[in-house]
Structure 1
Amino acid sequence: MIATKEIKLQIEIIKNTKKITSAMEMVSASKMRKLQNRMLLSRYYTKKIKEICNRIVADNINEKNNYININKKIKKICYIIITSDKGLCGGLNIKLFKKLLNYIKKDKKEYCFCTIGKIGKKFIKKYGGEIIYNKNNLGDYPKIIEFYNLIKIIIKQYDNNHIDCIKIIYNKSINSIKSLPKIKNLLPLKRKKEKIKKIVYIYETYDFNILLKTLFTKYLESQIYQAILENIASEHSLRMISMKKATENANELIRDLNNIYNKLRQENITQEISEIVNGAALV
């Protein structure tokens, strides 16, 4: 009887846990769909800004400027690493960290970090990396204005030659069930080998460097914000999958425990009947 009571209690506990995982799955699915809509709308703007920058790089390749100097010697790299603030999202962050560490080992240059997300900050601190900027508690729908301070810091560091290259690492959302860790170069822009269609731009400012700085600031804003949206969408996608698996596992466990409970209950009933029959025979 004690064993059956314990099993019944375990079943109730698992049922309560299942309610939580099922609710988390539905919440993550809803948030993921909203973020994917934002992400897809933002992709077009991000793509167009980069196209304009690439054309200017192609047209002004001989200009002496930090943003478009393809022969710049790279000594120190700043990695902007985007992770989640919370767990329960599968191997999202672990895969990202593995890719980053493998890349750093191969590159063998000095580096520093800008971390976006609590888990990223915790990892870099444990790794012993230099953090020049950190942003936590993004929420599910961050606004680009929240990252203006980050843009100012990295542009200042870049302009003063404290860093020579800016790269961003994040999880790119492929679809509702798949994402991949990606490292993307932001600055300096490299000239593409393929021929870029020439477009004549009319500049309103007399100072080409001011124009470049303004344009590349917008370029960095769009690239970083897009990466953040991609990463949050990937986070909710993997959390949805993780919670779905947890709910399925809970169902299997409940089914197995119910079978054990019914078997024990049947054995107890059989034993009680046997005792009654034996007692009656003695009388």
Structure 2
Amino acid sequence: MILATKEIKVQIEIINNTKKITSAMEMVSASKMRKLQNRMLLSRYYTKKIKEICTRIIIDENINDKNLNKKIKKICYILITSDKGLCGGLNINLFRKLLKDIKKNKNKYCFCTIGRIGNKFIKKYGGEIIYYLNNVGDYPRIIEFYNLIKVIIKEFDNNYIDCINIIYNKSINSINSLPKIKKIFPLTIKIKKESINKIVYIYEAYDFKKLLNNILTKYIEAQIYHSVLENITCEQSARMMSMKKATENANNLIIDLNNIYNKLRQENITQEITEIINGAALV
């Protein structure tokens, strides 16, 4: 009995130490998430506006570039995942979404991966990886994605790929996220000319196709960077919730072990008192 109570005390101490770690990780993730949310919202606004500019130029100048009307034969998926675990089913949900989309489209495909876990999954799946990027950190800069963007644009211009899709986790709020696949190129023109704000653009003497290509490059940069920020925000949110759940589970386990410990201790005391009484009776 005494040995059992000592073992329980050791278990309680170990779980307490683990609880301190999970609680600290929860607070760190919450802090990172709040910082990332501000960046993400600013990036979302910029991405929306640069897409509007691209659309406006295409419509106003009646640009009919063959790259904007390609027949889709091969899709490049940019898969954005985390480098680390401990974030619930965040990555698993992305993989399910990706596999479902691949089966539905029945096109040829290749991959660019951002994040170690996604890279490992695609290698295991047997997919063709044309570029990968790991360890982007919690607060990446857009310059870190320039090489990736160069590779994608080069393969598109060489007709190796015909469509670029990004798959990432979209942040709904501080708790919820949703795996999403977004076609970023060729640009889908959904806005009618009448619905665009009548802002007068003044162009210098310029080749409009060249101008559009430059802005489209910025648009692709913005889309990738924004999607990465969204995914990292979701990662920190998921990790915060996972660590919160782990801390709650640790608390419940400690309560249960304390109850068992107190019960055993009470039994030990009762047994000792009984032994003393029996010993006194013999005297």
Q: So what's the TM-score if we normalise by structure 1?
A: 0.96
**SS in structure 1 at match of 2:66:** coil
Aligned-residue offset at 1:191:
2.2
Residues 145, 193 of structure 1: alpha-carbon distance in 2 compared, 3 angstrom cutoff? closer
- Give the Cα–Cα distance (whole angstroms) in 2 for the partners of residues 62 and 89 of structure 1: 45
Please give the alpha-carbon distance, in whole angstroms, between the structure 1 residues aligned to 2:243 and 2:216.
Answer: 40
Q: Which residue of 2 aligns with 1:74?
A: 72
Distance 2:165 2:205 in 1: 29
Match of 1:273 in 2: 273
Show the counterpart of 2:170.
172
Match of 2:25 in 1: 24
* Partners of 1:229 and 1:205 in 2: CA distance: 36
Instruction: Spell out the pairing of 1:128-147 with structure 2 (5 A cutoff).
Output: 128-147=126-145
Structural mapping, 1:215-226, within 5 Å: 215-226=215-226
Q: Tell me which amino acid in the other structure corresponds to 1:217.
A: T
Structure 1: where are the runs of 5+ without partners?
none
Q: How far 1:62 sits from its partner (Å)? A: 5.5
User: Which aligned pairs between 1:157-168 and structure 2 lie closer than 5 A?
Assistant: 157-168=155-166
The reply to whether residue 235 of structure 1 matches residue 235 of structure 2 is yes
User: Is 2:89 the counterpart of 1:87?
Assistant: no
Percent identity over paired residues: 77
Q: Which runs of 5+ in 2 are unaligned?
A: none
> In the alignment, residue 101 of structure 2 is paired with which amino acid?
Y
CA contact (8 A) 2:29 2:236 kept: yes
Aligned length: 280
SS at match of 1:77: strand
What does residue 8 of structure 2 align with?
A: 7
Compute the displacement of 1:61 (Å): 4.9
Letter in 2 for 1:244: K
Give the Cα–Cα distance (whole angstroms) in 2 for the partners of residues 273 and 49 of structure 1.
81
CA contact (8 A) 1:205 1:211 kept: no
For 1:45-194, list aligned pairs within 5 A.
45-61=46-62, 63-66=64-67, 68-69=68-69, 72-192=70-190, 194=192
Aligned to 1:228, the other structure's residue is in SS state: helix
Are the aligned partners of 2:171 and 2:231 in contact in 1 as well (CA < 8 Å)? yes
Aligned to 1:247: 247
Conservation of the 8 A alpha-carbon contact between 1:151 and 1:220:
yes
1:208 Cα deviation (Å)?
Answer: 2.3
How far 1:280 sits from its partner (Å)? 1.1
Is 1:196 the counterpart of 2:205 in the alignment?
Answer: no
CA shift at 1:193, angstroms?
6.1
CA distance in 1, matches of 2:206, 2:60: 17
Deviations 1:219-252 (CA, angstroms, capped at 9, x unpaired) = 0011100001100010000100100010011000
Map Cα deviations across residues 119-178 of structure 1 (whole Å, 9 max, x no partner). 000000000000011110111100000101111110010011110000101001111111
For the aligned residue pairs, the C-alpha RMSD in angstroms reads: 1.3
Tell me the secondary structure at the aligned position of residue 175 of structure 1: coil
2:87/2:238 contact within 8 Å kept: yes
CA–CA distance in structure 2, aligned partners of residues 125 and 253 of structure 1: 39
Looking at structure 1, the residues matched to 147 and 155 of structure 2 have their Cα atoms a distance apart, in angstroms, of: 12
Moved over 4 A (4+): none
Residue-by-residue CA offset, 1:25-59 (whole Å, 9 max, x unaligned): 00000000000011111111111001111222333
Q: Is the Cα–Cα contact under 8 Å of residues 55 and 196 in structure 1 kept in the other structure?
A: no
CA distance in 1, matches of 2:108, 2:199: 38
1:200 to partner: Cα distance? 4.7
